[in-house]
Amino acid sequence: MTNGTNCMTTSETDLTTISGYRFHARPAGPEDVHALEDFFEHVAREDLHFRFLSAVRHVTPEQIAAMTGGDHIHRETILAIDPDEGLPVAAAMLAADPAGDTAEIAISVRTGFKTKGISWCLLKHCARIGQALGIKQLYSIEDRANWSAISLEREMGFSIKSCPGDATLVIVDGTVDDILRH
């Protein structure tokens, strides 16, 4: 991202959601390929569509490789690991532009864990990582039907605007500082 700092030095921590759910957040690596394959098999089909903005039934090996073999400079996948099961319950992707000023974020949560506040907590965690790396702005491209993500992002200080050229999508964006204030 901006200064070449490795995200792995700043992104591993234990987090607690507002509901009291505790999990361990850490970067995904090559050793997580099978865990991510299993994780995405337990993400609802609609949520897969919202995450990848296409009719995805299964996440491809190439997509998993991109999540686990990121350069940790411009792209990072953060896993939320359930402490009891040792399995990922959520995955957040943070991908910065080459200048390191802006980053896209996308979060998926395993079925059965969606109402625990994990997305909120991971989004805030990714904003802290971004801030440490000099990222100023976060954005996400959302399907207009993904009202739960859009509502969460709005609560965290993101603004919503139409996506040029595609009436089914919106772009939500916010400054890292604004997100961290919420």
In a domain, residue 89? The reply is yes
Assess if residue 156 is contained within a domain. Answer: no
CATH number at residue 69: 3.40.630.30
pLDDT attached to residue 72:
54
Per-residue pLDDT tens listing for the chain (182 residues):
333 333 333 579 999 999 999 999 999 999 999 999 999 999 999 999 999 988 778 898 899 988 887 555 578 899 999 999 999 999 999 999 989 999 999 999 999 999 999 999 999 999 999 999 899 999 999 999 999 999 999 999 999 999 999 999 999 999 999 999 98
Give a three-class secondary structure readout of the chain.
Answer: CCCCCCHHHCCCEEEECCCCCEEEEEECCHHHHHHHHHHHHCCCHHHHHHHHCCCCCCCCHHHHHHHHCCCCCCEEEEEEECCCCCCEEEEEEEEECCCCCEEEEEEEECCCCCCCCHHHHHHHHHHHHHHHCCCCEEEEEEECCCHHHHHHHHHCCCEEEEECCEEEEEEEEEEHHHHHHC
Say if 180 falls within a structural domain. no
Identify the pLDDT of residue 164: 94
Domain count for the chain, please give it.
1
Q: Tell me the residue range of the domain where 24 lies.
A: 7-139
